[in-house]
Amino acid sequence: MSGLVHPGIRQSRSAIPSVLAEKAPVLSFLRKGVASNRPNWLPLMLVVAAIAAVAYADHRVIVPSLIYLYILPLSIGAIFLRNEISYGLIVACIGFHYFNSPRQIPLGIRIFHDLSALLCFTFVVYVIQRYAKQQESLLETVERQRDDLLNDVELAAEVQRLFLPSSKSVIAGLEIAGMMHPARGVGGDYFDYFPIDPHTTQIVIADVVGKGVPAALLMSATAAAMRLEANHDRNMIKQVERLNAGIHSVSDSNRFVTLFLAEIDAEKRALRYVNCGHNPALLFRAATGMLTPLNSSCQPIGLFAEENCELASEHLMPADVLVFYTDGVTEAGNPLGEEFGVDRLSAVVRRGSSLSAEDLMKSLYNAAADFCGNDFNDDVTILVVKCDFDSPPTLTS
């Protein structure tokens, strides 16, 4: 199993009409941009009740006139209600005041007073509605840009999948399984494995500092460079030096890559590797039950102009297990602030050493996910290699 794992939400087509029916009632009193979980008539009822309260007070109080108290419910109505309803309420308020005005006041003064209030109410409601319309337009623009960004992120995730291995190992005696779970749709982790000759495979796992789109861009450059290196000589020290020079030329001192590059010869049962500032891989010895960390021997890629590395090696035995991972696994934290850590990771490796490579990979991921409540703060990548030297060759694609 290999690939890019990320959460997704799917909705059946049969559910779409019912959702649209709920969000688009036949008769709506609310503005188009107003979302409410309550009945759409409730804001209208509250505004009408407030107008009725002001009308009653205006009827009871003779002096002074309370007509301008209507401005409060009308302003609230302009925010939530459709335009035609808001203007209809203005006319209703003027009508209430006209009939509640003392009859001893001359008709001309009453009409002038009501007309001036009408103009004032209309102006205030118009200004509020214009502002609300601008806010709705801004919200639509933001939502459209968000959708475009999500589409771009999904496209970037698709590009990242192209850099990940799409088939299982074809090297007899080696069982390999890997996965990557980005923290933000796209991530800065990378892994790959590809055959060098019929009995040797090269394995790489890398982690770009940071996460999200900036890390994903540098990760893509790293992955592309590693694919180009596949066509050069297989001197891992030279590979690392060329990769360091290339990454250093396109990044600053705040952007670098930790890298673990290894070659496994199933015929000679030998592991050769270079660890450039990456998390120590774990080598589980089936014969003794011991775990050996494959520690870093040089600085991360791209941090400095020159890279001085040392090549290390280990002899492999049947049923030995190699576990490569990024710090998103060991630094996964629980609500108490504790990290998953290398000790818990090692315990899972020991318990699952008899499993297949794919099942052990799943066990490692599930253990970390359960520990942190499936709330990873960083990209998570796990690559498991199981030495099955005594088994007959199995070719899969």
Q: Tens of pLDDT along 264-278?
A: 999 999 999 999 999
**169 and 138 inside one domain:** no
Separation of alpha carbons 166 and 131, rounded Å = 53
Distance CA 366, CA 352 (A): 12
Are residues 194 and 123 part of one domain? no
Q: How many domains does the chain have?
A: 2
Query: Do the beta carbons of residue 325 and residue 302 sit within 8 Å?
Result: no
pLDDT given at position 14: 41
Cα–Cα distances (Å) from 221 to 24, 218, 231, in that order, read 47, 5, 16
Letter string b/e over residues 106-135, b meaning 16 or more CB atoms within 10 A of that residue's CB: eeeebeebbeebbebbbeebeebbeebeee
Predicted pLDDT at 22:
46
**Residue 130 forms part of a structural domain:** yes
Residue 6 lies in a domain: no
**Per-residue pLDDT, 347:** 96
Q: Are residues 195 and 315 in the same domain?
A: yes
The reply to whether 59 and 81 lie within a common domain is yes
Pair 111, 181 in one domain? no
Residues 49 and 175 in one domain: no
Query: Is residue 8 included in any domain, yes or no?
Result: no
Same domain, 182 and 141: no
* Spatial contact of 90 and 109, defined as CB atoms under 8 Å apart: no
Please check whether residue 230 lies inside any domain of the structure: yes
Q: Is residue 335 part of a domain?
A: yes
Domain limit, last residue, from 98, 121, 154: 154
Q: Residue 142 to residues 23, 135, 145, 221: CA-CA distances in angstroms?
A: 20, 10, 5, 30
Domain finish residue from 154, 181, 198? 154
Low pLDDT (below 70) residues in the chain: 1-27, 33-38, 62-64, 102-104, 160, 210-212, 230-233, 252-253, 391-397
What is the pLDDT at residue 371? Answer: 94
Whether residues 103 and 219 fall in one domain = no
In which residue are the tokens 């609500």 written? 335
Instruction: Tell me how far apart the alpha carbons of residues 266 and 193 are, in angstroms, rounded to a whole number.
Output: 14
Per-residue confidence (pLDDT) for residue 18, from 0 to 100: 43
**Predicted local distance difference test score (pLDDT) of residue 188:** 81
The answer to whether position 356 is within a domain reads yes
Same domain membership, residue 225 and residue 120: no
CATH number, domain containing residue 232? 3.60.40.10
Please give the share of the chain, as a percent, with pLDDT higher than 70: 85
pLDDT digit string, tens, across residues 12-33: 334 434 443 444 444 577 877 6
Question: Of 296, 291, 278, which is closest to residue 320 (Cα–Cα)?
Answer: 291
Question: Cα–Cα distance between 77 and 122 in angstroms, integer?
Answer: 12
**Residues of the domain holding 204:** 165-387
Last residue of a domain, one of 101, 132, 154: 154
* In-domain check, residue 159: no
Alpha carbons 371 and 377: distance in angstroms, whole number: 13
- Cβ–Cβ under 8 Å, residues 134 and 127: no
Q: Are residues 185 and 219 in the same domain?
A: yes
Q: In this structure, are 254 and 326 located in the same domain?
A: yes
pLDDT, one tens digit per residue, over 178-207 is 998 888 777 788 899 988 888 999 999 999
- Whether 337 is covered by a domain: the verdict is yes
128 shares a domain with 249: no
Q: What is the pLDDT of residue 267?
A: 92
